Structure 1
Amino acid sequence: MDVVPFRTPGLGDTSYLLVHEGIGVLVDPQRDIDRFLGAAAERDVTLRFVADTHLHNDYVSGAWQAARRTGAELVMPAGAAPAYPHIPAFHMEDIRGEAGLVLRPVHTPGHTPEHTSYLVLIDGEPVAVFSGGSLLVGAAGRTDLLGEERAGSLARLQHRSLHRLADLPRDVLVLPTHGGGSFCTVSEPGPATSTIGAEADGNPLLAVRAPEEFARRLLAHPQPIPAFYRRMGPVNVRGGPPMPSLDVPVLAASRLPAHVQVVDMRPRRAMAAGFLPGSVGIELDDDFGSWAGWLLSYRTPLVLVAERGQDVAEAVTQLARVGLDAVAGVVTDLTGMETVSFRVAGLDAAARVARRPGVQVLDVRMPSEYEEGVVPGSFRRFLPDLFVKGPPKGLDPTRPVLVACASGRRSAIAASRLRAWGHAPVVLSGAGVPELAERLVEAPAEVRGGSRP
């Protein structure tokens, strides 16, 4: 048996291709299925099964499309009841393949009600379990993604599910879908894969014996839920359409279609030097699609602004993974266009700015990050809330505002929005709020704006 992982860093997820004697099982694939099917073809593998462990909240699944294209049998949790043909996976009812390969569904509700893990048996011996969003490496999948009112009940079910999986043989390989960087996990896991024995010995959540205490710990520190999550479940019930074309037309900046949202994907310093008024700056990185899905409207087509040579196909792929398919084109030349700008500053320069009289500081991190350090007197508004609620009350557009997060990525996004509201932002880049707070420890609070959270 061989297991080929496919890591998607921006989503914090891993898909898997399991290969046994030329037979393949594809588990939890994202929508861009060519990378999975290409790997199978390179290995001369016949795809026998495609399986989803649950109705995914964080991406459009590619399982249905992969099964349709290859003729593989599509396996879905029995409780998912999607609107397309599939084999329903019932608890402990084996699904048999060739060459001694068996998938044994194990109902593991918690992350979602229908969640099902798949125990892999070769010639009757359990060798691996695809645990999806149930048992993770040093952690567990979140149980609050379907709403606060169901979170406690699902957490108690998650407790039972984790212990159900922990009863498997110790040498069984644990292959979770969610991992570091995913908003579907309740804590920061370690390596991508593990074993039942290692989790039984070291996963702190498995040490909690009482379901109520487990639920309390799991839900003690609520994390934000990306806005696009509420769209993914219904899409995956219906079955997502095939990937859109990655070839988008090059447009002239002076002749953009009406009623589009412009997304500037250039590096922050290039964007800061001059970008189209009203555009949202989300520099291309692994989590480009996640931030776009969280912050942008699904009702409005997108136009990208890119540097020549930037990987536009990668941007379109990331957008498609979260269901943003309407990309009208890309602009690579802003010559002659009216632009606006903001300033980008390193830590030393930013500290000098913050010490000037009248300068305001805006912290756009999530509240759970405040314990790492804050700038006294700063305004605080988590980046997605800035897009929904607008700037904090009292943030004065006539005074400079230094925007900070942990590295400058979220601050640059915030700066593009603040600029549209008439503010003159300065972005702290290459450092974060804790480092800035240390530099300002001797500066009186009033020179940083004297503002409240």
Structure 2
Amino acid sequence: MEIVSFRTPGLGDQTYLLTHDGQGVLVDPQRDIDRFLTAAAERDVQLRFVLETHLHNDYVSGARQAAQRAGAELVLPAAAGPAYPHTPAFHLEDIQGGHGLTLRPIHTPGHTPEHTSYLVLVDGEPVAVFSGGSLLVASAGRPDLLGPERARSLAKLQHGSLHRLAGLPRDVELLPTHGEGSFCTASGAGRYTSSIGAELDGNPFLAVGDAEAFADRLLAQPLPIPAFYRHMGPANTFGAPPMPPVDVPELTVDGLPAAAHVVDIRPRPALAAGHLPGALGIELRDDFGSWAGWLLPHAEPVVLVADRDQDVAEAVTQLARIGVDGVAGRVHDLGAHATARFELLGLDAFAERAAAADAQLLDVRMPAEHAAAAVAGAVHRFLPDLLAEGIPAELDQSHPVLVACGSGRRAAIAATVLLRAGYQPVVLDGVGVPELAATLSA
């Protein structure tokens, strides 16, 4: 038996391909399914099953399309109730593969009500469990993504689910879908897979014996929920279309669609030196799609501004994973139209400006980051809230706004938001608020 993992860092998720004697099982595939089907073909494996642990909140599933393309059986939790044909997985009703392979569904509600893990047995011996968003590496799946009204009830169910999985043999490999970088986790973790024994020894959530205390701990510091999450459940319930083409046409600035949102994916220095007025700057990295999905209106047309050597297809793929299919094209040459600019400063120069008596500093990090380390007198507004709630009233348009985050990435995005609102942003680049606070207090 071989288990191949496919990491998608920007979403903090993993898809798995299990192979056994020429048959394959694909677990929680994302929408760009070619990479999974190619891996199966390279191993001369025929996909027998495509499994989903739950109706995902953080990405559009590729399970339905993968099953259709490969002629595999699509298996979803019995309580999921999607609007397309599938095989329901009932608690402890074994699904038989060939050559001694058995998949045993284990109902593990908490992350979602229908959530189901799958125990893998070979010749009757348990060897691995696909735990989806239930028991994670040093963490647990969030129970609050379906709304605060259901969060506590689901948190208590999650307590029982974690202990149900923890009762498996210690040497069973733990293969969760969610991991570091995912907003579906209750806390961060530095590893992606584990074992039941390692989690029994080190997972802090398994050390909480009481369901009420567990719920208190799980819900004590709620994380923000990306705006695009609310669109993923319906897409996965009713079935999304196949991946759109990732090769989009080249456009000119004069030929941009009037209704399109312009997103500049170039590196920060290029963005600061000049971009299209009104554009939202989100440099292309692993988490580009998540930030774009969080900050842009869902399902509205997008045009990407990119350097010619940038991987525009990667940007389109990241957007498609979260259901943003309307990329109208790409622009490479801005010419004389790149008139929007902001300052990008290193720590010493930025600190000197921040130490001035009339300086106004904006911190755009997450609430938990701000609570852990802050600069006295700084105005705090989490980046997505700059668009949802507007620019803080304390900030004066007639004076520069010094913007900081953890590295400069989110601050640069915020700078483009401030610019189109008429402010004069100055971005701390390369370091974050903790380093700035230490410098200012030295």
Distance between the aligned counterparts of 2:331 and 2:88, measured in 1? 46
Match in the other structure for 2:230: 230
Match in the other structure for 1:169: 169
Distance between the aligned counterparts of 2:37 and 2:283, measured in 1? 29
Match in the other structure for 2:54: 54
Match in the other structure for 1:190: 190
Alignment of 1:198-209 (within 5 A): 198-209=198-209
Alignment of 1:322-361 (within 5 A): 322-361=322-361
Letter in 1 for 2:124: G
Residues 299, 323 of structure 2: 8 Å contact kept: no
Q: Shift of the alpha carbon at 1:300?
A: 2.3
Distance between the aligned counterparts of 1:384 and 1:197, measured in 2? 39
Percent of residue pairs identical: 69
Alignment of 1:99-118 (within 5 A): 99-118=99-118
Distance between the aligned counterparts of 2:371 and 2:62, measured in 1? 38
Q: Shift of the alpha carbon at 1:188?
A: 1.0
Alignment of 1:282-321 (within 5 A): 282-321=282-321
After superposition, the C-alpha distances for 1:10-61 in whole angstroms (9 at most, x for unaligned) are: 0000110001111100000100000101111111111000011000000000
Residues 299, 324 of structure 2: 8 Å contact kept: no
Aligned length: 442
After superposition, the C-alpha distances for 1:45-83 in whole angstroms (9 at most, x for unaligned) are: 110000110000000000000001110000000000101
Q: Shift of the alpha carbon at 1:181?
A: 0.5
Normalised by the length of structure 2, the TM-score is 0.99
Distance between the aligned counterparts of 2:110 and 2:12, measured in 1? 19
Q: Shift of the alpha carbon at 1:338?
A: 4.9
Match in the other structure for 1:441: 441
Residues 293, 319 of structure 1: 8 Å contact kept: yes
Deviates more, 1:8-17 or 1:182-191: 182-191
After superposition, the C-alpha distances for 1:167-198 in whole angstroms (9 at most, x for unaligned) are: 11111100000000100000112311111111
Match in the other structure for 1:451: none
Residues 76, 86 of structure 2: 8 Å contact kept: yes
Deviates more, 1:185-194 or 1:49-58: 185-194
Match in the other structure for 1:275: 275
Match in the other structure for 2:387: 387
Letter in 2 for 1:28: D
Match in the other structure for 2:10: 10
Q: Shift of the alpha carbon at 1:337?
A: 1.7
Letter in 2 for 1:6: F
Distance between the aligned counterparts of 1:373 and 1:159, measured in 2? 31
After superposition, the C-alpha distances for 1:383-425 in whole angstroms (9 at most, x for unaligned) are: 0001111111121010011100000010000000100011110
Distance between the aligned counterparts of 1:78 and 1:246, measured in 2? 34
Deviates more, 1:337-346 or 1:379-388: 337-346
Distance between the aligned counterparts of 2:218 and 2:389, measured in 1? 28
Letter in 2 for 1:350: F
Residues 370, 380 of structure 2: 8 Å contact kept: no
SS at match of 2:262: strand
Residues 145, 225 of structure 2: 8 Å contact kept: yes
Q: Shift of the alpha carbon at 1:353?
A: 1.6
Deviates more, 1:197-206 or 1:324-333: 197-206
Match in the other structure for 2:69: 69
Distance between the aligned counterparts of 2:212 and 2:403, measured in 1? 41
Residues 358, 400 of structure 1: 8 Å contact kept: no
Alignment of 1:207-218 (within 5 A): 207-218=207-218
Match in the other structure for 1:449: none
Moved over 6 A (4+): none
Normalised by the length of structure 1, the TM-score is 0.96
Distance between the aligned counterparts of 1:318 and 1:338, measured in 2? 26
Q: For the aligned residues, what is the CA RMSD?
A: 0.9
1:30 aligns with 2:47: no
Q: Shift of the alpha carbon at 1:112?
A: 0.2
SS at match of 2:289: helix
Distance between the aligned counterparts of 2:44 and 2:296, measured in 1? 41
SS at match of 2:336: coil
After superposition, the C-alpha distances for 1:193-246 in whole angstroms (9 at most, x for unaligned) are: 111111112111111111101001010111100011010000000111100001
Match in the other structure for 1:418: 418
Residues 82, 238 of structure 2: 8 Å contact kept: yes
Match in the other structure for 1:247: 247
After superposition, the C-alpha distances for 1:85-118 in whole angstroms (9 at most, x for unaligned) are: 1110000001111111111000000000000000
Match in the other structure for 1:447: none
SS at match of 1:440: helix
Q: Shift of the alpha carbon at 1:348?
A: 1.0
Distance between the aligned counterparts of 2:358 and 2:275, measured in 1? 26
Unaligned runs of 5+ in 2: none
Letter in 1 for 2:414: A
Q: Shift of the alpha carbon at 1:273?
A: 0.5
Distance between the aligned counterparts of 2:212 and 2:373, measured in 1? 32
Match in the other structure for 1:408: 408
Distance between the aligned counterparts of 1:298 and 1:199, measured in 2? 38
Residues 254, 337 of structure 1: 8 Å contact kept: no
Match in the other structure for 2:152: 152
Distance between the aligned counterparts of 2:222 and 2:366, measured in 1? 11
Q: Shift of the alpha carbon at 1:299?
A: 4.3
Match in the other structure for 1:445: none
